[in-house]
A and B are shown apart, each in its own frame.
Chain A
Amino acid sequence: MEKYILLVEDNPDDEILAIRALRKNHIVNRVEVARDGAEALDFLFRRGTHAGRPGNLPEVVLLDLKLPKLHGLEVLQRIRAEEATRLLPVVVLTTSSEDRDLVESYRLGANSYIRKPVDFDQFMEAVRQLGMYWLILNHSANGVGAHA
């Protein structure tokens, strides 16, 4: 099945830049975008507008924290609460420099945390490492998720 990424991001600029960063780092996988927390959950659990969506779970979820409707941390909590998505890799992606967000993210089971710096070059570098890590090296978590 086709490997793809779910990007949960409400800011269209950030969306474009994130996808650009991925592409620039030769991550050519399809990127699905959810514009708020509720939509992200609908997508993952194939509900609402995404009911009957074909296909598997994404390889990784890039989750912004400050989201309309449902906060990113709440989304993370729901993902970890469901058996189907309990092991789904989630990378928290946020502008927030608040320590408590970082602590709370890890507490709720985020696999990684990337701060979105103002400097795009730094962001590019972070995304590059992330993409390499999750799409090329990390097979096992993905595999377990796929067969579950």
Chain B
Amino acid sequence: MAEAPTENAKRPAVSRPAWWSSPGFVAWALWGSIGAVVMGLAAYSGAKAFVARRADDNIRHVLLTHRGLHHYIQRVMHPAYFAAREKGMVSPDWYSPMVLSSSYIVRNMHGFYNQERVKDGHVEIYYKMATDNPRNPVNKATPLESGLLRKFNEQRGLREYRETVEIEGKPFLLHAMPFLETNGACLRCHGRREDAPPGLQALYPGEGGFNERAGVIRAVEIIRAPLSPERFTVAILTASAMGGLLGLAGLLAFNVRLRRLVEARTSSLREEVLHRAQVEREVLQLNATLEGRVRERTAQLQAAIQELDAFAYSVSHDLRAPLRAMDGFSSALEEDWAPALGEEGKEFLRRIRKSCSRMGDLIEDLLRLSRFTRQEMDPKDLDLSALAREVAEELRSGSPERRVVFEIEEGLAARGDESLVRALLGNLLGNAFKFTAKVPEARIEVGKTSWQGRATFFVRDNGVGFDMAYKDKLFGAFQRLHSAEDFPGTGIGLATVLRIVQRHGGTVDAASVPGRGATFYFTL
């Protein structure tokens, strides 16, 4: 038993759950993965938006450049050409698309534009003025472009159209817008073939680009910027990697924190275990000391009881022997020397003998009291009513001349040592019997009642009673409240009652009105 705490201190019995299954970790992992997913999604959409904006920027750049060129050709070069022709500086037969056709110029300019882009490290941008009836076959619309052209002719308010398309497995941002609506001026070169300038007719054989009608959109401008998917992937991968790294770092930090926490807890736990073991040891030691002390006290008490025993034994022998001698020799004097003593001498001897007998009684009672203190207890369930009846019967048969009414309640039960409780009842009933000797209709009751809030037994008589002023002295040994002449006795009875009640862990009390009787209350 004493080894147990030391054992505990060496190996603290702490059940440690796997760190990865701790609630804190699980929550962290959950939030970490959600965070990584959110980060990935954010990175993805961010990358997508970035790539789209780059493509859009490229398209806008192309548009603005090429539009400007169209305007320059149509608003500056064409009036200049026609002015020169009117002044006769240019032959009416002469026509050159390289100088006069904005579509031609812009298309070819776009080739140079792309060259410059590549030189500057940018991607090439696709540009086309697509039509179903091209003058120059390179402007022939693909089915997709042809569809878009139809769309613009059907939805006349539509200024532009955006779409992400995939061509040969690569994503592109496609920007389409309607070219200028064909008007009467356009028809000078796009109407009937024979109306077009002869130089133009010579340059473009066939019917391509002719027979157009006014009010129709004859071409769609298509710009296509690549959506650089590799950047996309890189961005996503980077974001994911960063998210992952962040998560990992978080996990590591968490793990370190967790480990520190566990270590701190473990060490504090170990300290506590050690502390408890220490306390337990101290308690055990204290208990041992206490046990030792109890043993010591018990032994002392037993020794005291034995001593008391021996004392009582020697009192009963040695104290009485001289008394007996006094009484014996007084008797011898009385018998053998009576004539020489005279009446007065005989009276003195009688007084000596009376005192001897009284002292004998006192010794006897003292021994009885000590016997009730020393006697071993054997607690049993007792029928107090039956015991009281027996005692009453003894009293009655002891003084057959007396008329006393005993009223004993039925079913009084208590737990106690039979011989002690019998002595208790003997004393209380004996007292009641004695102190009702001079009452004409003596009455003694034994029963159960409530006294000062507690269930108690009582013995009540209608005898002489006692003065409550001396109640405190009632239960002292050799205390008498009445003269020995009136009521004989040594005054040990109630001391015995108190002793017996105390040995049962009970209490005793008394109440009286002088001349009207007394009541004794007791619990066991």
Binding site for B on A (CB under 8 A): 11, 13-14, 16-17, 20, 66, 94-98, 116-121, 123-124
B317 within 8 A of A: yes
B140 within 8 A of A: no
- For residue A66, which residues in chain B have a CB less than 8 angstroms away from its CB? 313-314, 317-318
Interface size bracket, B side:
20 to 34
The answer for the CA separation of A120 and B324 in the assembled complex, in Å, is 7
- For residue B314, which residues in chain A have a CB less than 8 angstroms away from its CB? 66
Please state if B360 and A17 are interface contacts (CB–CB under 8 Å): no
Q: Which residue of B lies closest to A99 (CB)?
A: B371
Q: How far is the CB of A97 from chain B (nearest CB, A)?
A: 5
Q: Which residue of A lies closest to B319 (CB)?
A: A95
* Sample (8) of A-B pairs whose CB atoms are under 8 Å apart: A11-B325, A13-B328, A95-B316, A96-B313, A96-B316, A97-B364, A117-B324, A119-B356
B266 within 8 A of A: no
The answer for the CA separation of A119 and B318 in the assembled complex, in Å, is 15
The answer for the CA separation of A94 and B316 in the assembled complex, in Å, is 10
Please state if A13 and B321 are interface contacts (CB–CB under 8 Å): yes
Instruction: Decide yes or no: A118 and B327 within 8 Å by CB, A20-B332, A97-B364, A97-B367 being known contacts.
Output: yes
Q: How far is the CB of B322 from chain A (nearest CB, A)?
A: 8
Please state if B321 and A14 are interface contacts (CB–CB under 8 Å): yes
Q: Which of B319-350 contact A (CB under 8 A)?
A: 320-325, 327-332
Q: Which residue of A lies closest to B320 (CB)?
A: A95
B22 within 8 A of A: no
- For residue B359, which residues in chain A have a CB less than 8 angstroms away from its CB? 118
Contact partner, B357, options A95, A116, A119, Cβ 8 Å? A119
- For residue B364, which residues in chain A have a CB less than 8 angstroms away from its CB? 97
Q: How far is the CB of B282 from chain A (nearest CB, A)?
A: 46
Please state if A116 and B313 are interface contacts (CB–CB under 8 Å): no
Please state if A98 and B316 are interface contacts (CB–CB under 8 Å): yes
- For residue A20, which residues in chain B have a CB less than 8 angstroms away from its CB? 328, 332
- For residue B356, which residues in chain A have a CB less than 8 angstroms away from its CB? 118-119
Please state if A116 and B316 are interface contacts (CB–CB under 8 Å): no
Q: How far is the CB of A32 from chain B (nearest CB, A)?
A: 21
Q: Interface on chain B toward A: helix, strand, loop, or mixed SS?
A: helix
Please state if A123 and B328 are interface contacts (CB–CB under 8 Å): yes
The answer for the CA separation of A123 and B327 in the assembled complex, in Å, is 11
Please state if B324 and A95 are interface contacts (CB–CB under 8 Å): yes
- For residue B323, which residues in chain A have a CB less than 8 angstroms away from its CB? 118
The answer for the CA separation of A93 and B364 in the assembled complex, in Å, is 17
The answer for the CA separation of A117 and B367 in the assembled complex, in Å, is 15
Q: Convert B352-373 into 0s and 1s, putting 1 for each residue whose CB lies closer than 8 angstroms to a CB of A.
A: 0100110110011001000000
Please state if A13 and B316 are interface contacts (CB–CB under 8 Å): no
Q: How far is the CB of A12 from chain B (nearest CB, A)?
A: 9
Instruction: Decide yes or no: A123 and B324 within 8 Å by CB, A20-B332, A118-B356 being known contacts.
Output: yes
Q: Which residue of A lies closest to B324 (CB)?
A: A118
The answer for the CA separation of A20 and B327 in the assembled complex, in Å, is 13
Please state if B331 and A120 are interface contacts (CB–CB under 8 Å): yes
Name the residue in B317, B323, B327, B360 with the highest tally of chain A Cβ atoms < 10 Å from its Cβ. B317
Please state if B357 and A13 are interface contacts (CB–CB under 8 Å): no
Q: How far is the CB of A73 from chain B (nearest CB, A)?
A: 12
- For residue B318, which residues in chain A have a CB less than 8 angstroms away from its CB? 66
Please state if B317 and A94 are interface contacts (CB–CB under 8 Å): yes
Q: Which residue of B lies closest to A24 (CB)?
A: B335
The answer for the CA separation of A41 and B263 in the assembled complex, in Å, is 86
Please state if A17 and B317 are interface contacts (CB–CB under 8 Å): no
- For residue B321, which residues in chain A have a CB less than 8 angstroms away from its CB? 11, 13-14, 95
- For residue B331, which residues in chain A have a CB less than 8 angstroms away from its CB? 120-121, 124
Instruction: Decide yes or no: A116 and B332 within 8 Å by CB, A96-B316, A96-B317, A97-B367 being known contacts.
Output: no
Q: Convert B437-466 into 0s and 1s, putting 1 for each residue whose CB lies closer than 8 angstroms to a CB of A.
A: 000000000000000000000000000000
- For residue A118, which residues in chain B have a CB less than 8 angstroms away from its CB? 320, 323-324, 327, 356-357, 359-360, 363
Q: Which of B43-91 contact A (CB under 8 A)?
A: none
Q: Which residue of B lies closest to A10 (CB)?
A: B321
